[in-house]
């Protein structure tokens, strides 16, 4: 059976994925969650990605799953560990030879305007759970269980400028790439979560009616969707 390796985004802890992983384990799969803060980014973005790939390791028949900003790293990590499939959930999709900053400068819309406008001051706040509670709950946890902000949000110290300035390898047409679009996302625009037909004509695209954190809003539905789009639904029955 395939092994599922998850990489969480920058705004939630690995614990936020517990219900999803439990659902996959109940279907007979092995799975692990890895956070972007597990490794050091002080030696640069490329070194950080390689360190994360080494932490994940190479396991036969690995399906690599990334959420949000982790989507930028999936092609590089997938290549390093020999992943058989890559699943992007509410993810920033790396574009060929263009950084996120270059995309934004060219007028491409990736983030919601309200998220972009408030994120900088939130990140600088000493107590964002207090000063920006409404902002965080409204953008990330509006459809999640009570106390999700207190239990699962983490203040990111990732080098976002460096990450967004670097053009990351994009998904290859030869890879088995799957994209789950969160139709109620208030952080990343749902349209930005869909790859273009020109870029990935054979990619599979599915939708889930949640905000940016389906792992909290609908964990069992998300797990079943991951199994379905990767061709493992029958194994769960």
Residue where the block lists tokens 């939130």: 122
Options 3.40.50.1820, 3.30.70.20, 3.60.20.10, 3.40.50.970; which CATH number does 3-236 get? Answer: 3.40.50.1820
- What is the per-residue pLDDT for 236? 46
The CA-based angle 15-17-23, given to 5 degrees, is 125
Q: What is the DSSP letter of 62?
A: E
pLDDT interval class at 237 (50, 70, 90): very low
**Token code pair at residue 71:** 């989507």
High-pLDDT (> 90) share of the chain, % = 90
| 142: pLDDT strictly greater than 70 | yes
Q: What is the pLDDT of residues 114-129, one digit of tens each?
A: 999 999 999 999 999 9
Q: How far apart are CA 135 and CA 139, in angstroms?
A: 6
Q: What is the pLDDT of residues 68-87, one digit of tens each?
A: 999 999 999 999 999 999 99
| 190: pLDDT strictly greater than 70 | yes
| 235: pLDDT strictly greater than 70 | no
Q: What is the pLDDT of residues 192-226, one digit of tens each?
A: 999 988 889 889 999 999 999 999 999 999 999 99
| DSSP string over 67-108 | EGGGGGTHHHHHHHHT-SEEEEES-PPPBTTB-HHHHHHTT-
pLDDT interval class at 234 (50, 70, 90): low
Q: What is the pTM of this model?
A: 0.96
User: pLDDT averaged over the chain?
Assistant: 94
- What is the per-residue pLDDT for 13? 94
Domain locations in the chain as residue ranges: 3-236
Q: How far apart are CA 99 and CA 96, in angstroms?
A: 8
């Amino acid at each position: 059976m395939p092994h599922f390796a998850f990489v969480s985004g920058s705004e939630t802890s690995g614990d936020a994925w517990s219900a999803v992983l439990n659902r996959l384990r109940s279907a007979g799969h092995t799975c692990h969650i890895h956070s972007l803060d597990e490794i050091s980014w002080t030696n640069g973005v490329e070194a950080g990605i390689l360190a994360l790939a080494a932490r994940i390791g190479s396991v036969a028949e690995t399906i690599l799953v990334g959420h949000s900003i982790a989507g930028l790293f999936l092609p590089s990590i997938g290549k390093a560990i020999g992943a058989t499939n890559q699943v992007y959930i509410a993810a920033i999709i790396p574009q060929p030879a263009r950084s996120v900053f270059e995309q934004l400068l060219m007028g491409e819309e990736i983030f919601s305007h309200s998220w972009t406008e408030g994120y900088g001051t939130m990140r600088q706040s000493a107590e964002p759970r207090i000063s920006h509670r409404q902002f965080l709950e409204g953008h990330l946890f509006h459809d999640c269980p009570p106390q999700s902000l207190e239990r699962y949000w983490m203040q990111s110290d990732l080098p976002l400028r460096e990450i967004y300035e670097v053009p990351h390898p994009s998904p290859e047409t030869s890879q088995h790439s799957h994209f789950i679009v969160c139709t109620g996302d208030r952080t990343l625009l749902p349209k930005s979560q869909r790859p273009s037909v020109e870029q990935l004509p054979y990619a599979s695209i599915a939708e889930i009616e949640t905000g940016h954190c389906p792992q909290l809003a609908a964990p069992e539905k998300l797990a079943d969707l991951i199994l379905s789009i990767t061709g493992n639904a029958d194994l769960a029955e």
